[in-house]
Structure 1
Amino acid sequence: MPDVGMAGTVPALKQVLASIVGEAHVHDDAATRRLHSGDIWSEAKEPVSLVVAPDNLDQLSRLMAALHEAGVAVAPRGAGMSYTSGYIPSVAGTVSLDMQRMNRVLDIRAEDMVVTVEAGCTWVDLNNALAPLGLRAPFWGPMSGLASTIGGGISQLNAMLGAGHYGTSSESVVAMSVVLADGRVLRTGARGADGETPFYRHFGPDLAGLFAGDCGVFGIKAHITLRLIQAPAAEDYASFAFDTGEDLMRAMAAMARAGIAAEMCAFDPGLTKVRMQRASMSGDVKALGAVVTRQKSLARGLWEAVKVAKAGRNFVDLESYPLHIIAEGRCAAAVAHDMATARQLAADHGGTEIENTIAKVIRAMPFPPLNSVLGPGGERWIPIHGQVSLSQAPALFTALEELFAELAPEFERFGVSTGYLFSSMSTNALILEPVLYWPDEKYPVHDVAMEPAHAARLPVQPANAEAKAFATATRKRVIAILQRFGCGHFQIGRAYPYKESRDPASWELLNAIKQVLDPKGAINPGCLGLDNRKG
């Protein structure tokens, strides 16, 4: 391990950090360092020197002050579900901040309709705390919410649960407490007379917005306050099949404009086949149990489970493009109206209604096990996404399909398969997410994410440098097409060309903010393309 800045050596720095968080929460063993040096996509050439886990805001503030004094780089990490090298160390001697001990729901203030959590709180834990009160955040999590943290979700931005009505994760944020590079604490929003009871986001310039989607480069999120809504009283589900991806895109755009779906989730034939391969009997049983529990009465739950079981897995034509939507509202009549609109719009664009099994299971099991981080044969997996305007979605899909058709011989040569996931963001964008699978070795983060029993069933793939190089080149070509259509991106990390998308005035402002908040350039250097280190 390298020497580390002004602290002199790694052992000396370890002692300093241990004096703040305790020896048990500073790690320098090879396995932990490697785990914190890789994400779903990549591993750093040189691992982090130390991993330190604060327990609260005070410890986090003191840690950052000590690391600032030592002059070392810092990489904040939540659950590690990044696939854009968002927390991968890029500087020798980097210290990884493991935020998972800061996992508490701190304050539910139903009278003010806000909840404050620590940044390491998972989406599933937040929802479990709110459900008995009949409350929910407007955006209430990605499908990786079993492990994904709220701090990571605000730093990277998320899609899925509630996004059809309320947009991405940051659009539900009221306020944040952020620890800066030197240990100072920056607090945003209107915060009440005591400064510690945030209730409204906007009070002058939107400081919270600076830290939303920043991939952690401006500061370390400690506390996050989200607004609340009453849990919807009614919900319903529908699924439709389309013959072409372009028809699917037009139907989803029409439904997004109408604002009728809390969630839309669609697949192409390739991803449908992968999902069918991955499905298991034990998973089916869990899904049926969840469907029963979701309903408001046992009789209704059992009836819904019978319908799901009867439908089985054969209701989807494996060559079609299935769309699954969930509508929710204050009363059954309003939801029924939205569902009628959805059926009409689907029919207008060539859709045929099919069994709504998957839509039901999405709501019954919103946070499934993270077994999809590898393919059904143990293959590596990488998604590449873009937010596209509603009008441009069909043309973008066509352009991506043309690329994949061109690459078909190489796909066969390297054993690469593809798929798509589609979803919506409020009333004005769709997400197109092509995914690649290729034979290659897994990383430690994959084993940590998956259920042990599932991981044990998967074949172990050997390292495959040629296939990885081809996947890397294909990923770059997909991103170039997304650029051509002017797409936006979540979890930019070090994968998407952010600087190139900004005008000179915007980039100058971003650099100035980075210089003020992190003058040594210590936090996630190089992420978003920002790197203000001297020398």
Structure 2
Amino acid sequence: MLDAGFREAIVRIVGTNGYSDDIALRELYSHDIWSKGATAEFVVAPASTMELSGVVAAAAAREIPLFPRGGGMSYTNGYLSSTPGGGVVDFSRLSRIVEVNAADMYVTVEAGCTWDTLNSALAGQGLRTPFWGPLSGISSTIGGGLSQNNAFFGAGVHGPTSDSVISLAIVTGEGDIIRTGTAGADGGRPFWRHYGPDLAGLFLGDAGALGFKAEATLRLVPAPSHEDWASFEFKGRDACADATAAVARQNVACEVFAFDPNLQRVRMKRASLAADAKSLANVVRKQGSVFGGLKEGAKIALAGRSFMANAAYSLHFVVEGPSNAGVRENIACLKRICETHGGREIENSIPKIIRANPFTPLNNMLGPSGERWTPVHGIVPLSQGSATWREIDDLFDSMQQTFDRHDILTGYLVTTLSTNGYLVEPVFIWPEEIFPVHEASVERSWLDRLPRHPANPEATAVVAEARRAVIDVFKRRGGAHFQIGRTYPFFETRSPEARALLMTLKQALDPKGIVNPGALGLAGTNARLTGARSLTPTDKEDAP
């Protein structure tokens, strides 16, 4: 139990609106979309970098662990504790856009700012960040993206979130504030990252284990004025997989993504006619002219949902640029590549709609009949993408009878990261009761139409087993992962020298071990800063 003195100290820092011990809120913030952790003792929501610094210093003085939560979209126990006694830092009040500097082409935001909020603010100025958000950007925060890394919008050319960062403001485990890059000098401006050792890089992709991100400065680029889209279907997985890698190597498609037939059918089944109408309206509005909008809208309307064969694998990509001629030349090149791999061009409704509606409500957190949904993923070189997808498919084939017995559906989303990363993300959909985070995140009008499922621990245990097996595939292939959290085996797979360096950094930045202990495979207050084995879904404290 927390002592009254600590509660009073925190309330003096953040005010009564910034502190809560409400049980419903604590339970909501103590699980992610995959599993539940120990219930937090309190939730604290600082509204400034200085307030965050004060909260961390107060917690460090009492060795009370703190777990950072942004949009809550983790599926790897990114902010969950395995033992009681800690608190959740809610970043929803630390969400301002601090500065848009169009002259020096950077934007500074607080860590709780969502990608949707940032892009809406920049759109009116004709600006954008190179990487500009994940598919969950309506809720996902920029600070969370920096801790976990993200794929999707802009990543096909510019790489993941961290490749668009210039500077960070970090609150260490003792409450000190570190600013990286040129912002680290007295009165310095955050216009340049590379001045001396790249301190920002230490905290990017760290799963929130080395410090609390308070502010971030990202590069700006002119928003491209032209874009085009293309979609191809392939009769087989390998042809689609190889075409995906070949398209990525050209480094001209800002988004490259593929679906297997199962996931494509789910996507088509999941959307409603009302959603179709809204998506179509946004496509029409985005085209910039009445004629162009009506033309593209008519193509989608005529194609409907039957433009793709049920058994087909599909590849989609988007090309953008400052001139229509350049965009057309680049997309023609990519189309030729797809045709060389046996692809057949189909109506480009999917990339067109996704681009016109980038940050949609999070209804995809559930299956089309109210089932639970969870992904697992890994990143391999482009040359290994096809073989990795095939190996996971073979694994699932070996488990298919068990999947069928428990009504577990699997599918794939594949995407690429600049010219180096091939991300394979299997997803699982199965009948299981939902969590409060689903109740809070899915549109109520959609949720009320879905059936509810009872607790189904046997099926969930099978999903956990399959997730672990997929992680083993990537481990054998030397793959990488975003959202390391407490699930992917980062620390345990590093060399002894790398582990020693990580422990030295953790000790220097978080000597009391209160910063998201357990994340990244690093233990904290309960294990006195020893390396912790990365958790997997079969660990008792990590299981749903």
TM-score, normalised by the number of residues in structure 1: 0.97
In the alignment, which residue of structure 2 is the partner of 1:228? 220
1:19 correspondence with 2:12: yes
- Corresponding residue to 1:293 among 261, 264, 285: 285
Q: Is the 8 A contact 1:380 1:440 kept in 2?
A: yes
> Which of the residues 63, 71, 93 maps onto 2:85?
93
Residue 281 (structure 2) pairs with residue 322 (structure 1): no
Alpha-carbon distance, 1:62 to partner:
0.8
The offset of 1:196, in angstroms, is 4.6
Give the corresponding residue for 1:32: 25
Residues of 2 paired with 1:141 and 1:368: CA distance?
12
Task: Within 5 Å, give how 1:121-160 maps onto structure 2.
Answer: 121-160=113-152
The 1-side partners of 2:387 and 2:106 are apart by 41
Which region of structure 1 is more displaced relative to structure 2, 297-306 or 163-172? 297-306
User: Which of 503, 516, 524 in structure 2 is aligned with 1:511?
Assistant: 503
Counterparts of 1:479 and 1:195, CA distance in 2: 45
Give the ranges of 4+ consecutive aligned residues of structure 1 lying more than 6 Å apart after TM superposition.
none
Which of 58, 70, 74 is 1:82 aligned to? 74
Secondary structure of the residue that 1:14 maps to in structure 2? Answer: helix
Residue in structure 2 matching 1:436, options 428, 439, 457: 428
1:29-49 per-position Cα deviation (integer Å, ceiling 9, x unaligned): 1110001100011001x3000
Counterparts of residues 24-423 of structure 1 (less than 5 Å): 24-44=17-37, 46-191=38-183, 195-423=187-415
Q: Displacement, 1:194?
A: 5.1
Deviation of 1:21 after TM superposition, in Å, equals 0.9
Task: Report the Cα distance in structure 1 between the residues aligned to 2:86 and 2:380, rounded to whole angstroms.
Answer: 35
1:510 corresponds to which letter in structure 2? L
Work out whether residues 244 and 258 of structure 2, in 8 Å CA contact, stay in contact via their aligned partners in 1. no
1:442-453 correspondence runs (5 A): 442-453=434-445
| Separation of aligned partners in 1, 2:184 and 2:463 | 51
Provide the C-alpha distance between the structure 2 equivalents of 1:100 and 1:467, rounded to a whole number of angstroms: 34
CA contact (8 A) 2:68 2:90 kept: yes
Spell out, residue by residue over 1:419-472, the C-alpha distance to the aligned partner (whole angstroms, 9 max, x if none): 000111001121100001111111111111111111111111111111111111
Equivalent-residue separation in structure 2 for 1:193 and 1:179 (angstroms): 16
SS of structure 1 residue aligned to 2:253: coil
Asked if the contact 2:515/2:524 (under 8 Å) is kept, the reply is: no
Q: 1:483 pairs with 475, 478, 501, which one?
A: 475
Give unmatched runs, 5+ long, in structure 2: 529-544
Which of 409, 417, 426 is the aligned partner of 1:425? Answer: 417
Are the aligned partners of 1:253 and 1:391 in contact in 2 as well (CA < 8 Å)? Answer: yes
- Distance, in Å, in 1 between the alignment partners of 2:144 and 2:485 is 12
What secondary structure is seen at the aligned counterpart in 2 of 1:403?
Answer: helix
Instruction: Please report how far the alpha carbon of residue 532 of structure 1 lies from its aligned counterpart in structure 2 after TM superposition.
Output: 4.3
* Aligned-partner Cα distance in 1 for 2:215–2:223: 23
**Whole-angstrom CA distance in 2 between matches of 1:188 and 1:50:** 31
The 8 Å contact of residues 492 and 521 in structure 2, kept in 1 or not, is answered as no
Contact 2:258 / 2:314 at 8 angstroms: preserved in 1?
yes
TM-score by length of 2: 0.95
Inter-partner Cα distance in structure 2 for 1:192 and 1:376? 49
Contact 1:136 1:230 survives alignment (8 Å): yes
Q: Is this contact kept in 2: 1:192–1:199, CA < 8 A?
A: no
Tell me, yes or no, if the aligned pair for 1:515 and 1:532 is still in contact at 8 Å.
no
Q: 1:190 aligns to what SS in structure 2?
A: helix
- Asked whether the equivalents of residues 114 and 225 of structure 1 are also in contact (C-alpha less than 8 Å), the reply is yes
1:523 counterpart letter in structure 2: V
Query: 1:489: Cα distance to partner?
Result: 0.3
What's the C-alpha RMSD, in Å, of the aligned pairs? 1.1
How many angstroms apart in 2 are the aligned matches of 1:441 and 1:411?
18
Query: CA separation in 1, counterparts of 2:382 and 2:442?
Result: 34
- Report the 3-state secondary structure (helix = DSSP H, G, I; strand = E; otherwise coil) of the residue aligned with 2:167: strand
Shift of 1:90: 2.5
Aligned mates of 2:240, 2:164 — CA distance in 1: 28
Q: How does 1:517-532 map to 2 (within 5 A)?
A: 517-532=509-524
Distance 2:422 2:196 in 1: 31
| Partner secondary structure for residue 62 of structure 1 | helix
Letter in 1 for 2:404: E
Question: What is the distance in 2 between the residues matched to 1:406 and 1:280?
Answer: 34
Question: What amino acid maps onto 2:8 in structure 1?
Answer: Q
Distance across 1 between alignment mates of 2:291 and 2:137:
29
- Per the alignment, residue 454 of structure 1 pairs with 446
Deviation of 1:197 (Å): 1.9
Distance 1:492 1:378 in 2: 27
SS at 1:112 equivalent: coil
C-alpha distance in structure 1 between counterparts of 2:511 and 2:5, whole Å: 24
SS at match of 1:133: coil
2:359 aligned counterpart, secondary structure: coil
Task: Classify the secondary structure of the residue corresponding to 2:36.
Answer: coil
Q: CA deviation at 1:191?
A: 2.6
The DSSP-based 3-state class of the residue aligned with 2:182 is coil
| CA deviation after TM superposition for structure 1 residue 260, in Å | 2.0
Tell me how far apart the structure 2 counterparts of residues 68 and 52 of structure 1 sit (CA, whole Å): 14
8 Å contact from structure 1 (residues 190, 203) kept in 2: yes
Contact 1:90 1:525 in 2 (8 A): no
